[in-house]
Amino acid sequence: MSVLPKKNHALNFLTESVLDQRVVNFWVQKFNPMWSTHEMLGRIVKKQSTAKDMVTLTIRCNKRMNFGLPGQHHPVIVEIAARRLERTYSLNRIDEQHVELTLKKVPQGAVSTWLCNVAEIGDVIEFGQPYGEMLCVTHPEKDVILLAAGSGITPMYSMIYDLVKTGQLKHYRLKLMYWVKHFEDVAFHSFFEKVAQQYPEFTYQVFCTQDAQTSSRLNEQHVTDCGDLHDTAVFACGPSGFVNSACELFHAARLFKSEAFTLSPLEISDTGTVTITLTKSQKMLEVPCGISLLEALEQANEKPVAGCRMGICNKCSCHKVSGVTQNILNQNQNSEPGSSLRICINSAKSDLVLDL
Ligand code: FES
């Protein structure tokens, strides 16, 4: 009678060990680093320069890949010096198995620098689930304006590439307005020019903000040039300062969707510290004001869950029990108790109690 429980115990042990996905992955990846029970993995098969400090990686994905829709973002996870780091990028699907990842090297950006300078053909990277609402094909408006600044061009490229590939572009009046510092920063220029030649209803303009003769930041005149916006869908992607201006200037559009991929330098001049009470981990921490709560908690050696770090994926969202916070993107303050808070884009204005 005592044999059976022993066998069960051994079996349970084996089952738990063998079926633990991480253990299985560890062993199967000894044979093929692209095999996984659950991870979306991709191997770099091509690397090319797209513009100044910008590269495009062509990546062959494994069978687990959940390809996002054109315009969406994916978490991209790489291991650098034994640390798993995650950043968010827009991917462009080019066929059944391959995606392109175009990214710009960001000063002090560990992941972008690694992908631009160190990553080689054959390296394997991991993806997270796609997310985001920059999806012009899911909206009925046929007049569409795409506003892109810097790396904000990548979701726009992905949408236009897909519309061309699927033959749908002819159904849209689509205007792409693209801001860069210098002309050498323009990515996909020949592609957009070719599309503009082929489709009379597609227009493409580049604005160089730091080339003396052509300097032209987003302003009222650009809105006026777009004409009546009442039936127009506007999508904007770029640094948060650009996206905020676009949101204000294009307020008359029927639909406005945006994603900011960097936080503008804080205008919050707060100094000093506040006390944050973390209810789940039962800690009280003194953290600096004037920076995002995510950053402040990380500086205090906490490891809150985070993904995009720019207010899109919602992974860092937590329940705020009490206290006043300020949104870094739009400077709005929130003193509502019991509200949901994205700690990557909010800073503390008072002592806080968070369910973390
Ligand atoms: S980490 Fe993505 S919204 Fe905060």
Average pLDDT for runs of 10 along the chain of length 356: 44 51 81 87 95 94 94 91 88 95 90 95 94 78 93 94 94 95 93 96 93 77 93 92 92 91 59 90 91 94 89 88 88 86 93 94
Report the distance separating Cα 249 and Cα 323, nearest Å.
Answer: 32
Residue corresponding to tokens 């990214």: 103
Within 10 angstroms of residue 125's Cβ, the number of other Cβ atoms is: 20
Residues touching ligand 1 (Cβ under 6 Å) are 306-309, 311-316, 342, 344
pTM of the model: 0.77
Interval between CA 230 and ligand 1 midpoint (Å): 32
Q: What is the pLDDT of residue 14?
A: 44
* pLDDT of 134: 79
Residue 5 confidence (pLDDT)? 45
d(CA 192, CA 174): 12
Angle at 347 between CA 314 and CA 308, to 5 degrees: 30
How deeply is 308 buried, as exposed, middle or buried, from its count of CB atoms within 10 A (0-12, 13-18, 19+)? buried
pLDDT of residue 16: 52
For residue 139, CA distances in Å to 124, 135, 152, 246 come to 35, 7, 20, 19
Q: In angstroms, rounded to a whole number, what is the distance separating the alpha carbons of residues 69 and 2?
A: 56
| pLDDT score, position 268 | 54
Ligand 1 atom nearest to CA at 88: 2
Q: Which of 88, 293, 310, 347 to mutate to test the pocket of ligand 1 (most atoms within 8 A of CB)?
A: 310
For residue 294, the CA-to-ligand 1 centroid distance in Å is: 9
* Mode of pairing for the β-strands spanning 54-61 and 40-51: antiparallel
What is the 343 CA–ligand 1 centroid distance (Å)? 7
Model pLDDT, residue 274 = 92
